[in-house]
Amino acid sequence: MIRNVVVPVLDGVFAFELGVLCEVFGLDRPDDPELPSFDFALCTPTPGPVRTMSGFDLMVEHGLDRIAAADLVALPAIHRGGEVSPELIGALRAAVARGARVMSVCSGAFVLGAAGLLDGRDCTTHWTYAAELAERFPAARVNPDVLYVDCDGILTSAGTAAGIDASLYLIRQEFGERVANRLARRMVMPPHREGGQRQYVDNPLPVEADTLGGTLEWMLENLDEEFGVDDLARRAHLSPRTFARRFRAETGTTPHHWLTGQRVLAAQRLLEQTEQPVEAVADMVGFGSASVLRHHFTRRLGTTPKDYRRTFCGSREVARTPVATTA
């Protein structure tokens, strides 16, 4: 069972992600005896001041030898261009070899990659860094869609809040559902979030095509209409076969797949920016029914339209909630 938690910090550490680990594992709550307390410490290759990305220094008193006693080694987000010392790499490998749990938050996965601990393992990081992680560590199986991955004792998580998700998951695994839920309530957090990172990806506008730009623009302006490849080919003055071949060459996918993605993207924007019911959104983007929208939305984003709207439009509900004030 996890009782001893060590967090290695390096120059360029991100304060918020470090704070997540300190909040979950480094804060004693003596008023609630059901919640676990941990022997918690920060460590660094050379004890002393460590510079954060926020411009202030941390004073860290422990060296990397502190990792030898850890049940859990947790890595916060760091600047991805920083050097990882051979001593830290060796300490992480030794921790895994003796059965300690290791986890990372956001770009902390790059430290695990440098130590070779992601080779042959499923893992994740913030969606903006996923391609870079996969390129730098090709033996890692990077999944950019999930909030966290637990693979053979290595737990990796996506950006910022996903570090809380992963930490609560670990508490749930070690101490049970009741304790994890109790801790989540203390942190004013949901004990488990639905969906994955895909719902948070800022989808870019479609790429400009060399010869089909006008057709793509027309498709976007008429998402609510029904049309097939034959209709689009006539509009582009091409045969259906030539149109399909050129469409894949210029967009990297099929007309149906591209159109479905744009309809889901349009639905996201309508769910975020309007109060139209889901059935109306489905009609406006060309899916025809809420059930068809739900199918494609869930398949693409890992969450339902209703839950997506709750996640991204909760502020509207808050705005309508009376707030107590004092004179």
The model's pLDDT over 2-32, given as tens digits with 9 standing for 90+, comes to 999 999 999 999 999 999 999 999 999 988 9
Most confident stretch, 208-217, 225-234, 251-260: 225-234
Q: And the tokens for 92? A: 């992480």
DSSP string covering 2-62: --EEEEE--TTB-HHHHHHHHHHHS---TT-TTS---EEEEE-SSSEEEEBTTS-EEEE-B
Which are the contacts of 108, defined by CB distance < 8 A and separation ≥ 6? 17, 75, 76, 77, 78, 156
User: What count of other Cβ atoms lies within 10 Å of the Cβ of residue 260?
Assistant: 18
Across 7-21, 196-210, 242-256, least confident range: 196-210
Percent of the chain's residues with pLDDT above 90: 55
Q: What b/e string do you get for 292-306 counting C-beta neighbours within 10 Å, with b at 16 or more?
A: ebbebbbebbbbbbe
The two structure tokens encoding residue 251: 């967009």
Examine the pLDDT at 76 and tell me if it is beyond 60. Answer: yes
Compute the distance between CA of residue 40 and CA of residue 32 in angstroms, rounded to an integer.
Answer: 18
Across 268-293, average pLDDT = 91
Whole-number pLDDT of residue 210: 58
**Is the model more confident about 144 or about 118?**
118
Is the pLDDT score of 141 beyond 70? yes
User: Of the ranges 104-118, 180-194, 201-215, 303-317, which is most confident?
Assistant: 104-118
CB 123 within 8 A of CB 140: yes
Mean pLDDT of 147-173: 89
Q: Which residue has the tokens 């870019």?
A: 204
Which of the two residues, 47 and 257, has the higher pLDDT score? 47
Q: Which is more confidently placed, 39 or 185?
A: 39
Model confidence at 294: pLDDT above 90: yes
Place of tokens 């302006």: 221
Give the pLDDT band of residue 194 (cuts 50, 70, 90): low
**Mean pLDDT for the stretch of residues 150-164:** 88
Binned at pLDDT 50, 70 and 90, residue 307 comes out as confident
Give the global pTM.
0.64
- A 10 A CB-CB count for 206 gives 16
Predicted confidence band of residue 314 (pLDDT cuts 50, 70, 90):
low
For the chain, the straight-line distance linking the first and the last C-alpha, in angstroms and rounded, comes to 50
Percent of the chain with pLDDT over 70: 89
pLDDT at residue 109 in the model? 96
Pairing assessment for the beta strands 141-142 and 122-123 based on DSSP bridges: parallel
Q: What is 4-200's CATH number?
A: 3.40.50.880
Q: Which of 38, 41, 39, 52 has the alpha carbon at shortest distance from 8?
A: 41
Which residues on neighbouring strands pair with residue 52, listed in sequence order?
Answer: 13
Strand, coil or helix: 176: coil
- Rounded to whole angstroms, how far apart are CA atoms 167 and 156? 10
CATH node for 213-316: 1.10.10.60
Which residue bears the tokens 């550490």? 13
What is the average pLDDT score of the chain? 87
Mapping DSSP to helix (H, G, I), strand (E, B) and coil, where does residue 121 land? coil
Q: Give 176: exposed, middle or buried? Use CB within 10 Å, 0-12, 13-18, 19+.
A: exposed
CB neighbour list of residue 66: distance below 8 Å, 6 or more residues apart: 6, 41, 43
User: What local confidence, expressed as pLDDT, does residue 47 receive?
Assistant: 96
The first and second tokens of residue 106, run together, are 């956001």
From-to residues of CATH 1.10.10.60 in the chain: 213-316
Indicate the pairing of strand 57-60 with strand 141-142.
unpaired
Residues of the chain with CATH 3.40.50.880: 4-200
- Of residues 145 and 192, which shows the higher confidence score? 145
Whether residue 140 has pLDDT greater than 80: yes
Q: How far apart are CA 75 and CA 167, in angstroms?
A: 12
Q: Do 198 and 300 meet the contact criterion of CB atoms below 8 Å apart? A: yes
Chain Cα centroid distance, residue 86:
28
